[in-house]
Amino acid sequence: MKNELITIGPFTLYGYGLMIAIGIVSAFLVAEHRAKKLKLDHERVLSLSLWAVFGGVVGAKLLYYITTIKEIIADPKLLLDVADGFVIYGGIIGGILAALIYCKRAKLDTLKYFDLAIPSVALAQGFGRIGCFLAGCCYGRETKSLFRIIFHDSAFAPNNVPLIPTQLISSGLDFLHFFVLILFAKYKKADGHVTGLYLMLYSLGRFILEFYRGDLIRGSVGSLSTSQFISLFMAAFGMIIFAAATRKARISAKNEQAA
């Protein structure tokens, strides 16, 4: 695990940043390819992606500030550190809101384009978690299991201590999530089903994985971590979207039969 991959003079290529970049580019290429296959306006995909990325970065940073508000009050200079400290759920929420605004402004079918883009989000997350692994952030709890990772020069994770490789587990789940969504999209019954399924599956996986995370700095709400607390609402939101999409499809089918 090495975050500083290449250093040439004043320039350093970091593994975390590289994986984020690979994730974003891969997500865009997949979404653009699928847009062409689905006969959607593929030229809109770039603008939609840029809006989602911008909203995701802002949302991830804001939620990080919220979860570390006590530390920030004690040391306001932490606000100036914009390079480190992001919370993925903030990124998801911010990205969704930004994409929603863009779809409304561009007068696009929101759920249709969300279903197009959502599998790419899971793909980007998979690469992003590899970046977390290289950097040592989002680390797991100490373990005696043989399935472990030991960091020796991490600025985030405890060094020389066997830890659960939550980053790699999360990455594997994200890639699996991507393939499940791509397959499900081929057989979906209504626009919005892919989006709803993503929110439900990701929230479930994240809720369970949180029990094995060791970075407690992210805060908690009662006995739940902040991410587990948010997962409950995200899963419920996904169920609502899925159910609403199903109901809308049934009503449309009945109206077509009646006509």
Q: Residue range 192-213: average pLDDT?
A: 96
| Segment 243-253, tens digit of pLDDT | 999 998 888 77
* H runs (alpha helix) in 68-109: 69-74, 88-106
Task: Output 5 or 235, whichever has higher pLDDT.
Answer: 235
Q: What is the mean pLDDT of the chain?
A: 91
pLDDT, tens digit, 9 for 90 and up, residues 26-51: 999 999 999 999 999 999 999 999 99
Mean pLDDT computed over 121-138:
94
* pLDDT at residue number 236: 97
Question: Residue 14: its pLDDT value, please?
Answer: 83
Q: What pLDDT shows up at residue 76?
A: 81
| Beta-strand pair 11-14/4-8 | antiparallel
| Residue 82 in this model has a pLDDT that exceeds 80 | no
Q: What percent of the chain has pLDDT over 70?
A: 97
Look at residue 200 in the predicted model and tell me its pLDDT.
97
pLDDT above 90 as % of the chain? 68
More confident call, 192 vs 217: 192
Pick from 154, 150, 17, 26: which is nearest to 86 by CA? 17
The per-residue pLDDT for range 211-236, each reduced to its tens digit, is: 999 987 667 788 899 899 999 999 99
Strand, coil or helix: what is 50? helix
Q: Using alpha carbons, list the distances in angstroms from residue 236 to 26, 196, 202, 229, 230.
A: 29, 9, 12, 12, 10
Nearest residue to 193 via CA among 203, 208, 183? 183
The pLDDT assigned to 188 comes to 94
Distance CA 124, CA 46 (A): 15
Look at 242 and 154; give whichever has higher pLDDT: 242
Tell me, what's the pLDDT at 253? 74
The pLDDT, as a whole number, for residue 12 is 79
Better-predicted residue by pLDDT, 114 or 12? 114
**pLDDT tens figures, 15-28:** 888 999 999 999 99
Comparing 40-54, 55-69, 181-195, 238-252, which segment has the lowest mean pLDDT?
55-69
- Residues in a beta bridge with 150: 162
Return the pLDDT at 249: 86
Q: Where are the domains of the chain?
A: 4-179
pLDDT at position 218 is 67
Predicted confidence band at 110 (pLDDT cuts at 50, 70, 90)?
A: very high
Q: What is the pLDDT of residue 252?
A: 78
User: What is d(CA 240, CA 249) in angstroms, rounded to the nearest whole number?
Assistant: 14
